[in-house]
Chain A
Amino acid sequence: MKKRKHLFQSLVLISALALALTGCSSSSSETNTGAQDTKKSVELLNVSYDPTRELYEEFNKDFIKKWKDETGQDVTIKQSHGGSGKQGRAVIDGLEADVVTLALAYDIDEIAQARGLLNKDWQTEFENNSTPYTSTIVFLVRKGNPKGIKNWDDLTKDDVSVITPNPKTSGGARWNYLAAWAYAEKLYKNDEAKIKEFMKALYSNVEVLDSGARGATTTFVERNIGDVLIAWENEAYLSLHELGDEFDIITPSLSILAEPPVAIVDKIVDKKGTREVAEAYLKHLYSDSGQEIAAKNYYRPRNEKILAKYQEQFPKLELVSIDDFGGWAEAQAKHFKDGGTFDEIYVPQ
C-alpha cells in the first residue's frame, strides 16, 4: 500500500514536468505565429535610456492612435529603459530593437560600429542631427537651497555632497561631466592642469556614483542623499512634478546642449519587416503633437513655436555643444575611455 503511494507521488512529479515542457513549447510557437502575422498588427521595440519613460509612455499612445487612424493597422510598442551605455550594449549583444532613442550619439555610433546594425551616417537620416528634442544639464537642490548652490564652482566646495551617475555607464553622466568641464575650461581659460584640479575637487564630492540617471535621481530624491543632483533638465522637472515642493531647480550660468538622438536599426527592421512603421514612429516625434508631448515632458522641443509656448519652463542660458569637444568620438576617447581624464580625476572612495 505504501509503495503505491510513493509511486503515485513520483508520477505526479513526472506529469508536472511533462506539462511544464509542453506548456513551454506551445507558448513559444504562439509567439512565432504572432510575428509572422504582420498585416494584422505590428510590434515595435523602442530601446531607450532612463529618463524617457514618461515621455514615451505618452508619445506611444499618441502614435498608436495616429497609425491606426491612417493605416487601420494596430501597432504595439514595447519599451525597454536603462542607462544609455548599458542599453546600447544590450542592442549590440542581441536585444532586437527596431528603434533606439538613446542619451547620446556615441552609444548609437557604437552599435553601428560593433555590428553594422545601422549605417554609419545614421545621424543624417532625420532632421536636426536626428535629435527631435534636446535638453540641458541643471542642478536639483533641496528646498530653499540651504547650501547656496548657484553655479558649477559651488559643487567643488568641501561641504557640498554631489550626486551624479557614472559616466562609464550613463549617457546623462557624460553630459554632466562635459558640462562641468566646459565651465572649468572657460573659468581657467583652457589651462588643462587647473581644469583637472577643478574636476577632481568636484568628483571627490560625489557621494554615490549610480549606473544610470534614474538611479541617481532615486538616490537623491528617495534616499535623501546629497545636497545637489546634477541632472537632465527634464529629469529635474519630473522630480519636482512627481514629488512636489521638496526641491528647487538651479540653472547654472553655462551648460551643455544635450542632444539625445533617435535612429532606426536597419538590419533589425529589415529582418522583421517593420521599417515603414519605425520610420513613421520617429518622424512623428518631429510633428506638432510629438513636439508638444516632448515639451510637456520637459524636453526642449526643436520646433520654435512650441518652444516659445513653453519658454517659462526653459530659461535661456549659455550652451556649449558636443562639437566644441570635437564630437562624441573625440570626447569619448579623451575623457571616458580607460585611462581618459575621468579615470585620472576620479578616485573611488
Chain B
Amino acid sequence: MEQSTFIQQVAPEKNNTVTKSAALQEPRFVRYTLIFIALAFLAFFIVLPLVSIFTTAFQKGVDVYVAAITHPDALAAIKLTLTVVAVAVPLNAIFGVMAAWALTKFNFKGKNLLLTIVDLPFAVSPVIAGVVFILLFGSQGLFGDWLFEHDIKIVFALPGIVLATVFVTLPFVARELIPLMQTQGTSEEEASISLGANGFKTFWHVTLPNIKWGLLYGLILCNARAIGEFGAVSVVSGHIRGMTNTMPLHIEILYNEYQFAAAFAVASLMSVIAIITLIVKDIIAWKSKSV
C-alpha cells in the first residue's frame, strides 16, 4: 500500500505523455465500460453502505440520534477510544521513526529479519494479537500472579486495550517511512556529519524535515486503524459497559440489543471521523507533492 502511494506520486506526469499517443488509446466503449464498472462497484460496495449508515442512524429522528451519542456509555466509549489513540499513535510515531531510521540509514546483521518482524502485525490476525496479551498478562498467564498480587490490571482494562492497539498498528509509520528514507539515501546525513553536526542534530535538522510528510501520512493511517480496531481489542476488552468498550465494541453491543438506530448513530460518528481522516490524508498527500 505504501509503495502504491509512492508510485501514485510519480505516475501523473508519466500518464500525461502516454495518453496523447493514439496508438495506446483504448476504444471509447471499452473505456466507458471500464469506468462504468468501476463506478458501479464503488457505488454498491462503498457509497450505498455509507448512505445506509446515515439513513438508519436518523431513521428514528434527530432526538434518538442525539440521545444515542450522548448516552453515558457512548460518551465513555468515545473517550476511551480517544485515550487509546492518544497513547498508541505517539508510541507508534517514536517506534516507527526509530525503526525506519535504523533500517535505512545503517547496515547491520539481521536487518532483513528486523524488517520482517516490523511487518508481522500486518500478517497476524488481530484476534491472535489479543489472545497473546491474555496469555502474557491474563491471570493464568506468565505475569498473572504477580499482577494480581500487586493489583495491577492490564487485560480487561485500559492498558490491555492500548497494548493490543499498539501491536496492531505498529507497522504503519515504519512501513510508510522505510521506502521514503530508502530513496532519500544517506547523502544529506553524510554531508551534515562531515560538516561537524552530531547524530542528534543531524536527525533533527536533516532527517526529520525530510520525512515530515511521510510521517504525518503514516500517523493518519495509524490513527484511523487505532480508532476502528475491533478484533484484538474485543479479545482484551472484557466488554464492561461504560468502562472498557471502545466505539466499535459499543456499536456491536447496541446492534445486538436491537437498538439499530443508536448503533448506526455511533457508526455514523465513526464514519465522519473516517471521512475527515481521509480528507486530511489527501491534503497531506497533496502538500507533500507540492513541497
Contact = CB atoms under 8 A, between A and B. Distances in A.
A242 B140 contact: no
Interface residues of A, number: 38
A196 to B, nearest CB: 32
Given A6-B212, A271-B151, A95 B238 contact: yes
Interface stretch (A86-94, A128-136, A145-153): A86-94
A23 B86 contact: yes
A218 interface: yes
Interface in B91-140: 93-94, 134, 137-140
Given A17-B93, A96-B153, A114-B140, A218 B240 contact: no
Interface string A44-83: 0100001001100000000000000000000000111110
B83 interface: yes
A253 interface: no
B151 A53 contact: no
Given A3-B209, A16-B90, A45-B240, A92 B83 contact: no
A193 interface: no
Nearest to A54: B257
A92 B240 contact: no
Contact of B90 (A10, A20, A50, A78): A20
Interface in A229-269: 242-243
B75 interface: no
Contacts of B255: 218
Contacts of B90: 13, 16-17, 20-21
Nearest to B138: A93
Nearest to B154: A94
B239 interface: yes
Contacts of A94: 134, 137-140, 144, 147-148, 153-156
Contacts of A243: 258
A24 interface: yes
Nearest to A27: B83
Nearest to B151: A271
Nearest to B85: A20
A93 to B, nearest CB: 4
B256 interface: yes
26 contacts: A3-B209, A6-B208, A6-B212, A9-B212, A10-B204, A17-B93, A24-B86, A45-B240, A50-B256, A78-B241, A78-B243, A79-B241, A80-B240, A90-B238, A93-B139, A93-B140, A94-B147, A94-B156, A95-B240, A96-B153, A96-B156, A114-B140, A218-B255, A242-B258, A243-B258, A271-B151
Interface of A: 3, 6-7, 9-10, 13, 16-17, 19-21, 23-24, 27-28, 45, 50, 53-54, 78-82, 90, 92-96, 114-115, 214-215, 218, 242-243, 271
